[in-house]
Amino acid sequence: MEEKKFKSGFVALIGRPNVGKSTLMNYLVGQKVAITSNKPQTTRNRISGIYTSDDMQVVFVDTPGIFKPHSKLDDYMDKASLSSLNDVDLVLFMVEPEEIGKGDQYIADLLKEVKVPVFLVINKVDEIHPNKLLPIMDSYHKLEGFKEILPISATQGIGIEDLLATLNKYLPEGPQYYSADQITDRPEYFVVAELIREQILRLTSQEVPHATAVAVDQMNKHQNGKLVIEATIYVERDGQKGIIIGKGGKMLKQVGINSRKEIEDLLGEKVNLRLWVKVQHNWRSDPSFLKQIGYDKKELS
Ligand SMILES: Nc1nc2c(ncn2[C@@H]2O[C@H](COP(=O)(O)OP(=O)(O)OP(=O)(O)O)[C@@H](O)[C@H]2O)c(=O)[nH]1
Ligand SMILES: [Mg+2]
């Protein structure tokens, strides 16, 4: 019998904010590498999640949701998404389980220029009645340009086996780029900062999540058997600082408790997490601060 050839490749996850790109990537990798929330514009940087099986390795490239930019940070996020299209083998265009709207049409038009296969992935099918799915799939069939149209649920695991089998069909033969135990291309300190930002996204509302950035200042010292992690939470205004600290420090304490648990799960060791909150006026429009915090447009290919 002929031996099955090993397949591998890079697959970009593209779509509007909040459609479930990061949730899908985490499900495929089997661990949280990208943060998720019910608020749009959760993901800000490109981040890879690596899926490895006996016959295939897929490097999923999660990207920020594509939307109309309002600030230099938004510009960076759109560039991070669109430039990923240049160096992947395949694109998953993810949408909500509804007929196409303006935002998706805009992305569909951009994807017409892409040379590699594009699959349309209709996520959150657990949210709709099965009768509603066919007309939605039909409306996307009419658009043409998609090699496959796949309904899935990234939270329920529906359609995932099918998705992986279809990817296997299209991906080229290739090497295993990463060792089987590596699940992301990002360093630990990046994921740690994101896990802290995730709790702020979950615990605060309105403009606070969008005005927040997190930087890990130090994570290489042990004290009393625990890894000491020091991190700074940046906001744009004094009022936002007050909200993140909360009455008597209650909010910051909760952010610390929740994110420490997540960080300990990730690193597999006990952590002493120390958080500071600083105001950095209008940082989202400040090129040198954006660069310092890792949102540097020039670094994107
Ligand atoms: N019901 C349902 N909810 C889902 C599904 N997949 C994701 N969600 C939810 O949708 C919300 C957004 O998920 P994310 O993974 O953060 O979305 P995203 O596309 O990465 O968003 P951005 O990073 O902002 O572009 C979260 O509340 C998820 O729990 C699904 O299959 N079914
Ligand atoms: Mg995301």
CATH architecture, domain 7-170: 3-Layer(aba) Sandwich (3.40)
17 in ligand 1 pocket by Cβ < 6 Å?
yes
**pTM of the complete model:** 0.97
Fold: same for 7-170 and 188-300: no
Long-range contacts of 97-101 (CB under 8 A, 24+ apart): 97/122, 97/123, 97/124, 97/125, 97/127, 97/128, 97/132, 97/133, 97/136, 97/151, 98/136, 99/135, 99/136, 99/139, 100/139, 100/140, 100/143
Annotate 26-55 with b (16+ C-beta within 10 A) or e (fewer). Answer: bbbbeebbbbbbeeebbbbbbbbbbbbeee
Question: According to CATH, what is the number of the domain 188-300?
Answer: 3.30.300.20
Residue nearest to atom 27 of ligand 1 (CA): 38
How far apart CA 198 and CA 203 sit, in angstroms, is 9
153 in ligand 1 pocket by Cβ < 6 Å?
yes
Atom of ligand 1 at shortest range from CA of 25: 15
Q: What is the pLDDT along the chain (301 residues), one digit of tens a residue?
A: 667 799 999 999 999 999 999 999 999 999 999 999 999 999 999 999 999 999 999 999 999 999 989 999 999 999 999 999 988 999 999 999 999 999 999 999 999 999 999 999 999 999 999 999 999 999 999 998 999 999 999 999 999 999 999 999 999 999 999 999 999 999 999 999 999 999 999 999 999 999 999 999 999 999 999 999 999 999 999 999 999 999 999 999 999 999 999 999 999 999 999 999 999 999 999 999 999 999 998 888 6
Q: What is the pLDDT of residues 6-48, one digit of tens each?
A: 999 999 999 999 999 999 999 999 999 999 999 999 999 999 9
Question: Where do the structural domains in the chain lie, given as residue ranges?
Answer: 7-170, 188-300
Which residues does the annotation place in the binding site for GTP? Answer: 15-22, 62-66, 123-126
